[in-house]
């Protein structure tokens, strides 16, 4: 009898992925997050349209939606047809998105973006990309409207410019709340400007923003502090990729560096920390931690969202460990707007069309089928 009762309990046990949880001051319907994904569907002025409204409202079954990366300023732009949140027209366009998401019971954060050296003058009206130091990205190319191009040597920001960019982030956070977003996430991962300040391979400054771990962490921490002052507690979050080597980001001692950073972030009233578990060639980087979530997730006092290549099974297993409280899905949510329902019913998944991920119109954007 006891055995039968135990088996019956196991059959009806709810997946952790489908359990309600909290982020900041919001209660989420499940523990599945739509990860931020650049889709390049804005117009040339960085304004999103009606199809973007539909794209996000199709995916309100996510406990939390994190928007595609949004440029905080004209200088921040690195890729063509990416949206901004620094003009009244851009803010008004995002209001339509957030209002529609909220009307359908969704919660949405804005991911704030400055690409730094990950850009090209062909995308920036002829202006040179900027970075902590004048060090270009090598052995990679960047997409422009004229095709793939080698990266250019960026212009090193002076100290006053760095301070001004911190204020640009603060204003972008204010604009995001005006646009109706429930909170903001700083994109400090994957080789973009905040990540460039964190890494010795991109940051060789000799002012207060370079040199020691404390100095290289300063830019990120000042941004977080200013955004919290501007929009309040439990509405500001951060995305980190301590083991990603994409865009020529190399850390000499990532465990020491990010331990120091997370210890400082623990002093701030954040909504969550979004950790990217990016694989890397272990033989070339023996000083890198093998498991990002276990190494760094244990250090934070904040809610952890785990990201990078999770399936239903591996996402559930990650939540069972108890470090991460939510799992974010990128291409799976792109191709399956009703992903939580598909996980619940254990149905087959749509395959993402990689040829239509960036740019274009409705194909590969709003035409993925729902379950009947």
Q: What is the pLDDT of residue 1?
A: 47
Q: pLDDT band for position 12 (50/70/90)?
A: low
> What are the DSSP calls for 290-315, one per residue?
S-HHHHHHTT-SS-EEEESS--HHHH
* Predicted pLDDT at 282: 83
- Class of the CATH-defined domain 30-356: alpha beta
Token pair, residue 183, equals 């909170």
Confidence at 14, pLDDT banded by 50, 70, 90: confident
Q: What is the pLDDT of residue 10?
A: 44
Position 8 pLDDT exceeds 80: no
Element (H, E) at 142: strand 141-144
Pairwise CA distance, residues 158 & 223, whole Å: 17
For 55-94, the pLDDT digits (tens) are: 999 999 999 999 999 999 999 999 999 999 999 999 999 9
Tens of pLDDT, residues 95-105: 999 999 999 99
C-alpha–C-alpha distance, residues 284 and 104, integer Å = 47
Cα separation, 115 vs 294, in Å, equals 28
pLDDT for the residue 47: 98
38 vs 66: CA distance, rounded Å: 11
Would you place residue 7 in the very low, low, confident or very high pLDDT band (cuts 50, 70, 90)?
Answer: very low
Residue 283 pLDDT: 86
**Contact (Cβ atoms closer than 8 angstroms) between residue 183 and residue 107:** no
pTM: 0.95
Whole-angstrom Cα distance, residue 38 to residue 31? Answer: 22
Model confidence pLDDT, tens digit, residues 209-231: 999 999 999 999 999 999 999 99
What residues are paired with 150 via a beta bridge? 141
pLDDT of 28 strictly over 90: yes
- 246 given a catalytic annotation: no
Q: Exactly one of 192, 272, 288, 310 is catalytic; name it.
A: 192
Q: Quick count: other Cβ atoms within 10 Å of Cβ 62?
A: 27
DSSP assignment string, 171-189: HHHHHHHHTT-SEEEEE--
pLDDT digits (tens, 9 = 90+) for 119-160: 999 999 999 999 999 999 999 999 998 999 999 999 999 999
Q: Where are the domains of the chain?
A: 30-356
Q: For residues 41 and 325, what is the distance between their CA atoms, to the nearest angstrom?
A: 31
């Amino acid at each position: 009898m006891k055995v039968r009762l135990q088996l019956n309990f196991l059959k009806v046990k709810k997946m952790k992925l489908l359990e309600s949880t909290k982020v900041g001051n919001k209660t989420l319907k499940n523990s599945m997050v739509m990860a931020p994904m650049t889709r390049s569907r804005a117009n040339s002025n960085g304004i999103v349209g009606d199809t973007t409204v539909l794209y996000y409202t199709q995916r309100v079954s996510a406990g939390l939606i994190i928007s595609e990366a949004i440029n905080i300023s004209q200088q921040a732009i690195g890729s063509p047809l990416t949206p901004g949140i620094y003009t009244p027209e851009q803010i008004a366009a995002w209001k339509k998105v957030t209002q529609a998401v909220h009307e359908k019971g969704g919660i949405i954060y804005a991911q704030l973006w400055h690409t730094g050296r990950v850009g090209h003058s062909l995308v920036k009206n002829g202006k040179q990309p900027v970075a902590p130091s004048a060090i270009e990205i090598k052995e990679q190319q960047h997409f422009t409207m004229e095709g793939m191009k080698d990266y250019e040597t960026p212009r090193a920001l002076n100290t006053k410019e760095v301070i001004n960019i911190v204020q640009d982030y603060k204003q972008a956070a204010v604009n995001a709340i005006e646009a109706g977003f429930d909170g903001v996430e700083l994109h400090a991962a994957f080789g973009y400007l905040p990540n460039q300040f964190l890494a010795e391979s991109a940051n060789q400054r000799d002012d207060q923003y370079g040199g020691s771990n404390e100095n290289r962490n300063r830019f990120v921490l000042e941004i977080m502090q200013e955004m919290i002052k501007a929009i309040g507690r439990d509405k500001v979050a951060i995305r980190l990729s301590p083991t990603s080597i994409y865009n020529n980001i190399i850390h000499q001692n990532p465990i020491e560096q990010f331990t120091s950073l997370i210890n400082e972030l623990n002093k701030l009233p954040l909504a969550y920390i979004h950790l990217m578990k990016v694989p890397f060639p272990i033989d070339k980087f023996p000083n890198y931690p093998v498991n990002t979530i276990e190494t760094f997730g244990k250090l934070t006092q904040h809610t952890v969202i785990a990201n990078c290549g999770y399936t239903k099974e591996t996402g559930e297993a990650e939540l069972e460990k108890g470090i991460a409280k939510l799992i974010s899905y990128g291409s799976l949510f792109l191709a399956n707007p009703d992903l939580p329902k598909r996980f619940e019913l254990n149905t087959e998944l749509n395959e993402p069309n990689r040829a239509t991920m960036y740019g274009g119109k409705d194909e590969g954007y709003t035409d993925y089928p729902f379950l009947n």
